[in-house]
């Protein structure tokens, strides 16, 4: 059998990620590959750091893109900040809080869980109770934008509570970065990670992260080695940090970083506030259209993510059949529910390049035809 070049179909990606990648970003990724220590590439890395500082709204020097997807950014934060025996309070209101718990335990930490119903924001009063009950805790971890439910938690309030009890914070912003207001320095977030494939609309495979000085100091004070060699910031920053000569650590995904750089330039050109406003505007248009079809949201309006819309499947409708028809007949991808919401909800993404009035209309018309 002769295998020919792969030609993917042209889809409209309106699921929980990845989002549509613009032709401009794809063209950037097709530029000539250079060495990962080439002076021109190092210069582009410096620009990428500055652009990431802009979208994170931070001046943190320790800001860069991990050479792997958002899950590796999560592991980078936990592996560097947790030592065996540390008590970590983890807030869970969906799938990804559970993954945080896994990371705590695999790093030898003790996870204290604060549970909220799926589809609800993290309850600050529950976190406060957990902090009072666990005075030995050193970290609080929570998901800002829970991709499995479309719920957004009050990051500033949760961070303030953690700091009042002497804890640092780890925040998951995989789905929130560039899609909804996120202010790392103003809110005092200590460590944060995201992904390239959501509201930044770059290709999957990179995880922007940022650590403030408090987090960096904790890493320097470690008495044990970071369990992951690849994600050890003491080593990685020899490549991403500093001025002039860089120390070889790994071969960076050069062309993926071209794409991330271009996607960040696009955000800069639009303006971060304008990006946040666009996502909200298109969310409201989608909401109005879905509600006219009798399709309702599972998240209270004040806690809804504009870029990830989790909605109930109408009674008597076959979840998989609808998604299959949308994909096969309309080249439109929407997402299924995860965990306890499997078969009960659809997750409709309006992220980055895919967040447009054209896509809102296309999604509504396609759903209406199939239903």
Distance CA 97, CA 228 (A): 21
| pLDDT, position 243 | 59
| pLDDT, position 255 | 98
The CA-based angle 48-57-170, given to 5 degrees, is 95
Contact indicator for 347, 150 with CB cutoff of 8 Å: yes
Average pLDDT for residues 37-47, to the nearest whole number? 94
- Model pLDDT for residues 78-133, shown as the tens digit of each residue: 999 999 999 999 999 999 999 999 999 999 999 999 999 999 999 999 999 999 99
Contact indicator for 114, 137 with CB cutoff of 8 Å: no
* Strand stretches in 167-219, DSSP E: 168-172, 191-193, 207-211
- Model pLDDT for residues 7-16, shown as the tens digit of each residue: 999 999 999 9
| pLDDT, position 153 | 98
Ordered structural domains, the chain, with CATH = 12-17+272-370 (3.90.1150.10), 23-267 (3.40.640.10)
| pLDDT, position 89 | 98
- Model pLDDT for residues 159-188, shown as the tens digit of each residue: 999 999 999 999 999 999 999 999 999 999
Q: Residue 242 above 80 pLDDT?
A: no
Distance CA 182, CA 16 (A): 19
Cis peptide before 18 (omega within 30 of 0): yes
Q: Residue 207 above 90 pLDDT?
A: yes
Q: Are strands 137-143 and 191-193 parallel, antiparallel or unpaired?
A: unpaired
| pLDDT, position 244 | 57
Q: Residue 75 above 90 pLDDT?
A: yes
- Residue 129, classed as helix, strand or coil, is helix
Contact indicator for 230, 75 with CB cutoff of 8 Å: no
């Amino acid at each position: 059998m002769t295998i020919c070049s792969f030609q993917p179909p042209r889809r409209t990606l309106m699921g929980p990620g990845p989002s549509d990648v613009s032709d401009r970003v794809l063209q950037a990724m097709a530029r000539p590959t250079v060495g990962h220590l080439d002076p021109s590439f190092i210069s582009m890395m410096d620009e990428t750091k500055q652009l990431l500082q802009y979208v994170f709204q931070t001046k943190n020097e320790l800001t860069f893109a991990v050479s792997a997807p958002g899950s590796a950014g999560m592991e980078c934060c936990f592996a560097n900040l947790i030592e065996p025996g540390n008590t970590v309070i983890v807030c869970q209101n969906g799938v990804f809080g559970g993954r945080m718990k896994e990371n705590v335990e695999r790093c030898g930490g003790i996870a204290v869980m604060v549970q909220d119903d799926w589809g609800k924001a993290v309850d600050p009063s529950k976190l406060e109770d957990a902090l009072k009950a666990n005075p030995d805790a050193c970290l609080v971890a929570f998901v800002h934008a829970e991709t499995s439910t479309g719920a957004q938690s009050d990051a500033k309030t949760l961070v303030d509570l953690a700091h009042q009890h002497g804890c640092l914070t780890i925040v998951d912003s995989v789905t929130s970065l560039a899609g909804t207001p996120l202010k790392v320095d103003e809110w005092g977030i200590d460590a944060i990670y995201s992904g390239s494939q959501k509201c930044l609309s770059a290709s999957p495979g990179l995880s922007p992260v940022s650590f403030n000085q408090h987090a960096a100091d904790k890493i320097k004070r470690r008495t044990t080695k970071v369990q992951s060699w690849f994600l050890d910031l003491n080593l990685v920053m020899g490549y991403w940090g500093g001025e002039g000569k860089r120390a070889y650590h790994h071969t960076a995904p050069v062309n993926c970083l071209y794409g991330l750089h271009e996607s960040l330039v696009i955000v800069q050109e639009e303006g971060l506030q304008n990006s946040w406003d666009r996502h909200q505007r298109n969310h409201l248009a989608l909401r109005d259209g879905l509600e006219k079809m009798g399709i309702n949201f599972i998240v209270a309006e004040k806690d809804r993510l504009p870029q990830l819309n989790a909605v109930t499947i109408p009674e008597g409708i076959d979840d998989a059949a609808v998604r299959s028809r949308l994909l096969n007949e309309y080249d439109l991808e929407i997402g299924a529910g995860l965990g306890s919401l499997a078969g009960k909800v659809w997750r409709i993404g309006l992220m980055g390049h895919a967040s447009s009035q054209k896509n809102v209309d296309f999604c509504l018309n396609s759903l209406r035809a199939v239903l």
